[in-house]
Each structure stands twice: as C-alpha cells, then as structure tokens.
A and B are shown apart, each in its own frame.
Chain A
C-alpha cells in the first residue's frame, strides 16, 4: 500500500489512527465509513461534489507566484490560494463533501466543532446550501477572539454552543461535539473539521482535501522542491501532501509553537484516535496555546504522526511573534493578508530562507486573515 492511500485495517496509519470511541458511537462510525466508501466509489457523488466545488466554492483556486517576497527571500515561493475559496479557507472543501454525505445518509443536522471559526462557517454554509440544520461547538475563548466568524455563523442560521470547560478552545469544543453526537446519532451527522477523530474521519477528510494537492500538482510546471503547510489537526497539510506524496518533494508541516504535538508531544489517544498528543507526565492532556485559534490544539491527525514516523514528512513549529510578522510581510509584499494559521507556514519559510535559497517552495495559504483583523492591530 502506497503512502497516503487507504489506511490499513481498523483505520490504522502505521501504529496511529483507530477508532477509540464509546460503544454508543461505534455503529455511527461504521455507518459513516460504509456511506463514505459507497459514495467515494460512486461517480454520481463525485460529480455532484466536483460541481459544487466548481460552481459554488470557486475551485480551482490559483497558484500565485509571490514575486516580490521571493526576490526578498532568494527563493521561488508559490502560494496555493485556499484563501480564495468560498468562505475564505480550505475548510469548505471538506465540508461540502461531508454535507453531501450527510444528506445522502438521510441526516438532518450537522454537528461541528470549530476553533478559528472557519470550519464552523464552512459547516453553517454547507448546511444552508443543502437545507440541513447546523450546531457548532466553540470554546468561549475562541468566541471572544474570532468575533467576525461568530457573526457569520449566526447569520448563516447555525446554532452556536459556547463551551466553557477546560481550556475553552478547540480541544474542549471537540469533546463537547462528541458528547452531543453520542446522544444524537440517529438524526445528526458529526462533521469533523480536520484529519482527526475516529476512523474513517482522518482518511475521509484527507480525501476531501486532496483536491488542494492534486490541483496544485497540475498547476505547477515542475514538482516543487519543498511543499509547506500549516498544521492544526492537519487537514490542509494532508490535502496538500496527498498531491505530492509520490514525488521527491520535501514535505513540511508547521505547527504552532504552543501546540506542537509532533515536536513536544508523545503517543496518546485523544478525540477518538491514537496519535501524538501534548500531555504531562501523568497522561493528562496539556492545554495548547497559540495566537491562531485554528492551531490551538494539543493533538495532530494520525496520518501526520505516521508520515513523521516513516520519515516521509517533517514537522516544525513557529511562534506567535514571527507569525504576526509574517502576516504583515505578505500583506505588504504581495497584497495578501493571510490567516494567522496559514502564516505559520510562511514564518517557517522566512526563518529557513537561507537553507531554501534557490529552491522552489510551494506553500498552501489555507485561509484569509479577515477574521483576525482585531488581533493584527
């Protein structure tokens, strides 16, 4: 089985992945897996999704050469522009896929967790489009710092559930969404926002995000030397990497320094799968902390842990200060204001420009910075 193909039995990527959920959720996960397998091998479903991606989400997104910044850095920087997708980030790709699947399964309601609010906005959007209800779980701290997205979700008709437990961020919103799903599997579909959760989610979300990497591969003249993406749960990175996994490109995922599960974590089980987790000496999950709400997460998708273990991808981190600098730099050199999350990838490129001199670097610009304007001030 090739790298980034279907996971092994029981949703395993090497020693990672799996389905660590309460017995009550096992049938629900099995139902999602069966429905996804069926849909993904159905040309009709693929055609419906492709059409929505084209006529609704605005795909394909372009690859933009960042000419002025490239000259400054001494390398060739190409930006895969997910910020230009409808709703402002790559999250829409996955959500259109899952919402179509939910409708095919006869579900009436999407449940979603969100950090930066981009997945929540995408879920609320797809729900509106397809006539489904939508309930979004969001940490109270994230509600405060991502106010524009909170307003968007409400306007799109979603019900927002503030989560006040734990760190009041994405981790706790995810716990709460899973608890609600336990009680509501008959009518609700849990629309997970990244390549995490129980099998089949990490695999399914990667397949829905693969469009980023596949498009980019077709859009570039030759395979880039380095492919870089930011990593929260890791969906934009997984989708990007999937398009280049079989090439010689160096694959780099960049986490937030305060939520660097790959660099500072150890193997553990959180939110339904086994992966790398930030935890203390007693096995309690440590709260992550980042200026980017979408990366403020103590775990990482299981396939990334596997890609690191087999040496196919490498993971680094970027700190808040250099990330904010990177936002301003891209704004002034290219006229593009990236999301704080995306700017982690850029901060890594800026920091490593010396080593990357002369190389072609493709970076996924996972979303736009409109939601972060308060923080940039």
Chain B
C-alpha cells in the first residue's frame, strides 16, 4: 500500500536520481511541501517513453556517473517519511537482485514503462517477493478488456498516461485524460493518478476532478535543468499542492 489516506488528492512530484549533486535535497523539499509520494527516475541510456526534458535529465545524471548504488545510497541516507517510487526501464529492472536492493533502500513501488501487461510477470514476481508494489500504466489507446486486466492486477496505484505520446510539458491537459482516469476508477479501488503533460497547477487542478491525483515530472525537471534550486522546486510543488488540495481547482499564480 503506497497511499494510506484515501481522503485526499495525491501529489507525486518526480526527480531524476543523481541529476545534480544536491538532488537528494529535492526529496526533502518535495516532502516538506506536501508531496504524498515521490517518484525517482533511475536514469537509463535509452529512455524510450521520455521526451526531451527527461532524456536530458537522464543523460546528465549518467554523465555525472549516477548508478543504482549511488542513488540508493542517498535515498537510504535521507529517511524520506513519504513513500518513494522508482521509475526505470526493463533492462535495469530485470537485473538480478534489483528489486531487493530497492526495497532494502526503503523504496515502496516500481514503475517500468516498457514492461506492458504481457511481459510484466517476472518483474512483478520479483517486486512482490521484495515487498514492492508494481504500478502499471494505462494509455488512451488501451482497449476496455485490457484496461480491466491491468486494473485488476494493479498494485499501489494506476498510472493513467494522459496522452498518446512521451513525457514532456504541454500547453493543455489532454481532453482524453479525464475520461481515461474515470474509466479506470470504475474498475479498481486503487487510486488512479494522471501523469504525462501535467505542467501547471491549473492542469493539476483539472486532472484531479476525474483522478485521485497527479504525477508532475517534466515541468519540475525543466526548471531544474535551467538552474532552479531544490528550494525553488519545493516552492513549485507547494503551488501544485495548493491547486490539488481540494480537488476542485483553485486559482493558481500566473507563473510557476
């Protein structure tokens, strides 16, 4: 169980592990500004489902020498007090002992975007053996029977990908996001979070009308790549927190 409190809308900000020397301070800043969980991207050389921002973030982390070990060492040291979720690709997730090492560092959940339902069993077995939830993705193209199969086997939460496309900031929240989240919500008791393209507090407020929460990634990583400090990212998370708090959409500041 990643989320224990069912009464509030969930805010899950993202950070690429190892992207800067002080990236772990982002974990603290996110936590202190109301994150319900934090997604940590474990950088991979070939991030098939990521747009330019997360690609650049991954490249930068790898160029700095980030590894699973170095990232988990910092995670372990920080004692997050919020659930931590790792997102990475199959090639890393299938390495022997991977899930056990995540669990050992206090990670609660795992997202593997290139392991769809049909290929996921070995990874899910390894994750569950280590006590991790394996969080599935659903997409606007997922057909109803498959949506049901994914929803009933989901753990932690269901990640509803708002667009047919890669991660990245967008001007508008895709009109398909709400209906997709609503369709999944009818199939599972687990929270359903909308991610991909949630770029502003307004988007987040709109998303949580149909969903139980949002994941915010590229919008934060863009600022970080442009030089924003962990404290500034924390302030941004606070604005997303404010906009998602009620689930009815409060007015947000002009710029974030």
Query: Which A residues are within 8 Å of any B CB, using their own CB?
Result: 10, 18-28, 165-166, 171, 175, 178-179, 182-185, 268-272, 277, 279, 282-285
Contact = CB atoms under 8 A, between A and B. Distances in A.
B68 A282 contact: yes
B165 A10 contact: no
19 contacts: A19-B119, A20-B115, A22-B161, A23-B116, A23-B150, A24-B141, A24-B161, A25-B141, A27-B143, A166-B45, A182-B164, A182-B165, A185-B141, A185-B164, A268-B91, A268-B94, A269-B90, A283-B44, A285-B46
A244 to B, nearest CB: 32
B140 interface: yes
Contact of B46 (A18, A19, A27, A166): A166
B137 interface: yes
Interface in B81-97: 89-92, 94-95
Nearest to B62: A284
B46 A179 contact: no
Contacts of A185: 141, 164
Nearest to B66: A282
Contacts of A184: 164
Contacts of A10: 118-119
Contact of A22 (B44, B49, B68, B95): B49
A283 B137 contact: no
Interface residues of B, number: 41
B178 interface: no
A26 B118 contact: yes
A187 B176 CA distance: 18
Contact of B59 (A26, A27, A165, A277): A165
Contacts of B95: 283
Contacts of A175: 46-48
Given A10-B118, A182-B165, A269 B141 contact: no
B113 interface: yes
A178 B48 contact: yes
B94 A26 contact: no
A371 to B, nearest CB: 26
Contacts of A27: 141-143
A271 B91 CA distance: 10
Interface in B179-211: none
Contacts of B140: 24
A28 to B, nearest CB: 7
Contacts of A22: 48-49, 113-114, 116, 137, 139, 161
A182 B50 CA distance: 10
Interface in B160-179: 161, 163-166
Contacts of A166: 45-46, 59
